[in-house]
Structure 1
Amino acid sequence: MRTRTLVFTVIVLAAAAAGMRYREQLAPLLHTATARLTGQPGPTVPADAAKAAKGSGQSGGGVAVVTALSENVSFPIRRRTIGIVETPASVVVKSRIDSQILEQHITDGQMVNAGDPLFTLDDKEVRAAIARDEATLARDQALAERARAALARTKELLARSAAAQSALDQAVADAKSADANVAADQATLANDKIKLSYTRITAPMAGRIGAVRVVPGNLVSASDPTGTGLVTITQVKPIRAAFTLPERELPRIRTAMLRKPLPTVRVLLPGTETVLATGRIDFLDSSVDTASGTIVAKSNFANEDLRLWPGMYVDVQVDLDQRPDTVTVPSPAVQIGQNGSYVYVVKSDKTVEARQVTVLGAEGDRTAIETGLKPGEHVVVDGQLRIGPGTRVTESTRGSAAGSQNEAAVHRDDHS
């Protein structure tokens, strides 16, 4: 029994000694983890924890972290928002006469050009009306010729005093009436010829055919009580996207639109960086929406590959300005705490400092820093969970990340 008690006592003492041995070395790690859970951006480390961190670095070479240089680059100022793709024009094709469909020349979803045939209607009734008009015109032309001849004879008789003035007046009236009948017949004939052209329905513009709502044999009416028409043609090349920008950006937007070329607009697949089309702002609304505090802008795109479709929602990226000499760091270097953003900066003595910074914006894997950081400083991009202020570190670098990122852009949350 005494032997068991002795063994148990030895184990407890050994555990206590081990705890004391590693307590100080674990203190910085516990401190950093606690700071992340509470949102505290690098508060002051207790003196014993800082001493342990430095001691750990001296005895073991420091905590291994990955660092990168802060760099000065030229950053475009971008705004990202949500837009919707719109068609510039959409036409509901209807019949302009009452008739019956004889032929259908299109299929659902077909692309057409302006003037392409869509439907052929029964034209027999219209052609019969044209024949009747031509016969009536010929008759009235003959009557008009006779009336003109009678007028001429009456004038001769009146000149020889062989006819009364009233006879001349009647002859003049008859001639004018006959000419009016001829003019009316010509108008009726022209109208029926126009109706004949309506029996061949063609595309009024280039675009994509929607669902065809009729088939050969259907009766169609000019009145179209349903209002649905025969088919709808939607323009998809070119196409446009409508989006809103915050009112506070209006001065920058107007300045950008005064420059040439106009601001670049990229349409992206929602939630991704996949660019579907690139264009330029070519419309800015004349007033700000007072309810939302935004202004509507639009951009046209060639859309030759038909990647944009009317009604689809997209992400829109707008380049508004170019900011030269902007300090940037890899985005993983920026940490978020209760007091805002901060980065771990490796000092010359190989210890780290939690530096409060003001973030201008981020795009891709680069973040622009407005204040708090200078070019050429070493920032920790990996290993932040293992360090705290004052921790001695051993650096390994990924190299400069700015080279191909000079075209990265500053993005501010429009709702911030």
Structure 2
Amino acid sequence: MRGPGMSGPDGSERFVKKHDFVLARLGAIAALLGATFTLTGCDKPASQAAAPPPPPVTVAQPVKRTVTDWDEYTGRFEAVEEVQVRPRVGGFVNSVEFQDGAIVRQGDLLYVIDPRPFEAVATQAEGQLSDARAKVELAKRELDRGLSLVQSSAVSEQVVDQRRQALQAAHAAETQAEGALKAARLNIEFTHVTAPLTGRVSRHLVSPGNLVQGSDSGTSTLLTSIVTLDPIYIYFDMDEATFIKYSKLWFEGRRPSSRDTANPVQVTLAGETKPSREGTINFLDNRLDVSTGTLRSRAVVKNTDLSILPGQFGRVRLIGSAPYEALLIPDAAVATDQSRKIVFVVKSDDTVEARPVVLGPLDDGLRVIREGLKPEDRVIVNGIQRARVGAKVAPQTAPAPAGGKPGDKS
């Protein structure tokens, strides 16, 4: 029996295929709806899951205490006294009497120059002096004889005057001979070159057997050099703005001038993290360098262990302000937000706030905060990476930093 729209076997097959296609589409739609309901059902427990607890952070209140600013400069050490050892007389070097780089005392023998030529000159000068003294004695006797004869008119007054002049000439020749002998003996003494001061000597620049020139030649030979080590100078340059700041503080009576007061300095050597030496300012130049706009300054530092050598570098800290009260926090609590410095403060509802601050110098490991904080603020000092602005945190109070208690003077 044929249904409507069917005409023969071909129509039956088309009907069956169309029926199967519709059933397949309905099955796919049902499966899609089932998957959707399944996903919806899975999302419901995730949305109802408990929120994570606030992250723990460590907070501390700023330390309040009296501090003094220190300005820091780069300096170079130089010897208080330095001398270049040169011979006063020329000749051949016989021996070197010191060890290179050793500590020598004033008067220690350094070099010996062949003294024989100068000894010969001294012997000749002694003979000339003896001759001059003999002539003086002869002139005296002739003058005495003339004075006795002039009374009996045996000789004239002119003869007496001539003999008196001869005696004076003999005395002059004696004086010249004495001077020549002293010079010859000095030259013998100068053949022994001694240390003019106590300090560390450099290496010997002339070996035995070499000829050296003395000071009388105008180009005396450099033998070695000696520098003093204790105390030692450190020179540094301060810029014009800092000099003006110091002058203003001095006019206001808040800081003594280094020109009339030995202001203290602290020195940090290369490789050190904190100052290890102390000294005082003892010189400020009388003008600024026009090429650099800086003022040359100098401090004197004790060097009892002789460990500092001229030419070394050091960092010099000089008092830069009058004492004042300041708030301080650990330097690790300061973060950078582009071009400004910030700290994270926990408010009363335990949410985090980013607070811009103006920094001062470090003082005993703590950073001075000039602006931006109050004594009662709770600053995050540990766990900054877990803090998010506006989010809650679980604050834990840290022990008071060294140097004082939060909000207290020290």
TM-score, normalisation: structure 2: 0.80
Distance 1:88 1:297 in 2: 14
Q: Does 1:167 align with 2:159?
A: yes
Cα distance, 1:331 vs structure 2: 1.0
* Counterpart residue number, 1:345: 345
* Counterpart residue number, 1:244: 237
* Counterpart residue number, 2:180: 188
* Counterpart residue number, 2:403: 403
Structure 1 residue aligned with 2:66, among 61, 69, 74? 74
Single out whichever of 83-92 and 252-261 deviates more from structure 2: 252-261
* Counterpart residue number, 1:409: none
Cα distance, 1:225 vs structure 2: 7.9
Report the secondary structure of 2:69's partner residue.
Answer: strand
* Counterpart residue number, 2:96: 104
- Over 3 Å counting, the alpha-carbon distance change for 1:132 and 1:228 in structure 2 is closer
Larger radius of gyration: 2
Distance 1:353 1:198 in 2: 81
Check whether the contact 1:276–1:307 (CA below 8 A) recurs between aligned residues: no
* Counterpart residue number, 2:22: none
Distance 1:66 1:158 in 2: 120
Cα distance, 1:364 vs structure 2: 5.5
- Over 3 Å counting, the alpha-carbon distance change for 1:246 and 1:105 in structure 2 is same
Distance 1:373 1:291 in 2: 42
Superposed counterparts of 1:263-412, under 5 Å? 263-270=263-270, 272-338=272-338, 340-363=340-363, 365-403=365-403
Check whether the contact 2:212–2:221 (CA below 8 A) recurs between aligned residues: no
Single out whichever of 317-326 and 183-192 deviates more from structure 2: 317-326
Percent of matched pairs sharing the same residue: 28
Q: Does 1:231 align with 2:224?
A: yes
Matched to 1:80, the amino acid is E
What per-residue deviation string (whole Å, max 9, x for no partner) do you get for residues 370-410 of structure 1? Answer: 1221113210122223323221110123311142799xxxx
Distance 2:189 2:178 in 1: 17
Check whether the contact 1:71–1:376 (CA below 8 A) recurs between aligned residues: no
Matched to 2:309, the amino acid is W
Distance 2:323 2:306 in 1: 34
Check whether the contact 2:70–2:320 (CA below 8 A) recurs between aligned residues: yes
Distance 1:118 1:153 in 2: 56
Distance 1:246 1:13 in 2: 72
Matched to 2:234, the amino acid is A
* Counterpart residue number, 1:33: none
Single out whichever of 62-71 and 252-261 deviates more from structure 2: 252-261
Single out whichever of 247-256 and 179-188 deviates more from structure 2: 247-256
Distance 1:133 1:237 in 2: 44
Check whether the contact 2:332–2:381 (CA below 8 A) recurs between aligned residues: yes
Distance 2:291 2:396 in 1: 52
Aligned length: 365
Any stretches of 5+ residues in structure 1 without a counterpart?
23-55, 407-416
Check whether the contact 1:326–1:370 (CA below 8 A) recurs between aligned residues: yes
Distance 1:194 1:130 in 2: 9
Check whether the contact 2:214–2:221 (CA below 8 A) recurs between aligned residues: no
Check whether the contact 2:201–2:224 (CA below 8 A) recurs between aligned residues: yes
Q: What is the alpha-carbon root mean square deviation over aligned residues?
A: 3.1
Check whether the contact 1:74–1:324 (CA below 8 A) recurs between aligned residues: yes
- Over 3 Å counting, the alpha-carbon distance change for 1:302 and 1:271 in structure 2 is closer
Distance 2:269 2:139 in 1: 78
Q: Does 1:203 align with 2:195?
A: yes
- Over 3 Å counting, the alpha-carbon distance change for 1:291 and 1:130 in structure 2 is closer
- Over 3 Å counting, the alpha-carbon distance change for 1:173 and 1:221 in structure 2 is same
Check whether the contact 1:137–1:186 (CA below 8 A) recurs between aligned residues: yes
Report the secondary structure of 2:118's partner residue.
Answer: helix
Cα distance, 1:93 vs structure 2: 0.7
* Counterpart residue number, 1:123: 115
- Over 3 Å counting, the alpha-carbon distance change for 1:405 and 1:248 in structure 2 is farther
Cα distance, 1:271 vs structure 2: 6.2
TM-score, normalisation: structure 1: 0.79
